[in-house]
Homo-oligomer: A and B are copies of this chain.
């Protein structure tokens, strides 16, 4: 099956201790699409301005990513984000945000997208996420992301709760989960969110991996230990792209299927952060994914049955 994503495309300028790039391809939907496209076909809904470089479109076009849902605003400027990371790569310091055409984004799905079963609502205004959901005929698995900005405002938080009530899986990072629930303890916070409706809460923890909580259990997946991290931008959206892409490819949305998809998500994200922007994702192959997944298993495997009773 295909997977549909609605979210931002951006021109990012990023500084890390390991280099600097300007006006490179960024945005949640870009990372998600490229990550998911290693597994299955992607339908991308987003908005760009007249200044969006053709080469970025060409690049997305090298993968099975359908761009019919991409709106181009003739007189508009593309969403721009500038950020800096210090040695603690878990924390992004935003230097500048220019919403530009993204401020007026009103996602309209092409008719052929409305029958999509696998849908990812990347971080945008919650009321727009609701609009998107109402355009989908019979969703089977809907993933959702959000951010501190919407959680901190009572009005947008209320809308966000209405979205959460209707989705299958909430993807948020540990800080967002804590902020939304007002609960520090992650298991308890996740269970609060489950009580609103979702089947599973996927908590992203950066270099520490991710954790899923559902009524069926808890799953912890490590981040692959990398020799080098250049730019953590897009790790979370790549993780979601790997998870949703794998679920859509296999059609197995059981708890075991979700666990397996999260392992792939973690591995995809580990490639993303090895280079700036989406560079590493563009060339990512299935055999690279498989090989690193096997390594991740080696790195986390242990025996359990060797302690005698006394």
A residues within 8 Å of B by Cβ? 17, 39, 87-88, 184-188, 205, 208-209, 211, 217-222, 225-229, 246, 250, 256, 259-260, 262-264, 286-287, 289-290, 293-294, 297-304, 306-310
Q: A196 → chain B, closest Cβ, in Å? A: 20
Do B217 and A220 touch across chains, with their CB atoms under 8 A apart?
no
Q: Taking chain A's interface residues, is the majority helix, strand, or loop, or is none over half, making it mixed?
A: mixed
Contact residue among B186, B246, B302 (Cβ-Cβ distance under 8 Å from A259): B302
Tell whether, in the assembled complex, residue B294 and residue A262 are in contact, meaning their CB atoms are under 8 Å apart: no
Find out whether the CB atom of B211 lies under 8 angstroms from the CB atom of A307.
no
Which B residues are CB-close (under 8 A) to A219?
299-300, 302
Cβ-neighbour of A220 out of B17, B222, B246 (below 8 A): B222
- What is the bound-complex CA distance between A185 and B225, given in angstroms? 10
Q: Are A220 and B299 in contact (CB under 8 A)?
A: yes
What CA separation (Å) do A262 and B301 show in the bound complex? 11
**CB nearest to A290 among chain B residues:** B307
Stoichiometry, as copies per complex, reads 2
Given contacts A217-B298, A293-B304, A309-B287, contact A225 B211 (CB under 8 A): yes
Q: Report how far A209 CA is from B223 CA in the complex, Å.
A: 12
Cβ–Cβ < 8 Å partners of A17 in chain B = 184
Q: How far is the CB of A214 from chain B (nearest CB, A)?
A: 12
Q: Which of B205, B246, B286 contacts A309, CB < 8 Å?
A: B286
A88 to B262, CA, bound (A): 26
A187 touching B227 by the CB < 8 A rule? yes
Given contact pairs A219-B299, A263-B302, enumerate 13 new A-B contacts (beta carbons under 8 Å).
A17-B184, A39-B307, A185-B229, A186-B225, A217-B299, A218-B225, A219-B300, A220-B299, A222-B222, A260-B302, A289-B307, A293-B304, A300-B300
Would you call A302 and B297 a contact (CB within 8 A)? yes
Closest 3 CB pairs of A and B: A87-B184, A208-B208, A263-B302
Interface centre among A298, A303, A309 (most CB of B within 10 A): A303
Instruction: Report the minimal beta-carbon distance from A7 to chain B, rounded to whole angstroms.
Output: 25
Determine the chain B residues whose CB is within 8 A of the CB of A299 once the complex forms: 217-220
Q: Give the chain B neighbours of A290 by CB distance below 8 A.
A: 304, 307
Taking a contact as CB atoms under 8 Å apart, the answer to whether B302 and A187 are in contact is no
Expressed in whole angstroms, the Cα–Cα distance for A304 and B286 within the complex equals 13
Assuming the contacts A184-B88, A289-B307, asked whether A302 and B221 have C-beta atoms less than 8 A apart, the reply is yes
Q: Check B304 against A185 for contact (C-beta < 8 Å).
A: no
Do A264 and B297 touch across chains, with their CB atoms under 8 A apart?
Answer: no
Write out the residue numbers on chain B whose beta carbons fall within 8 Å of the beta carbon of A185: 228-229
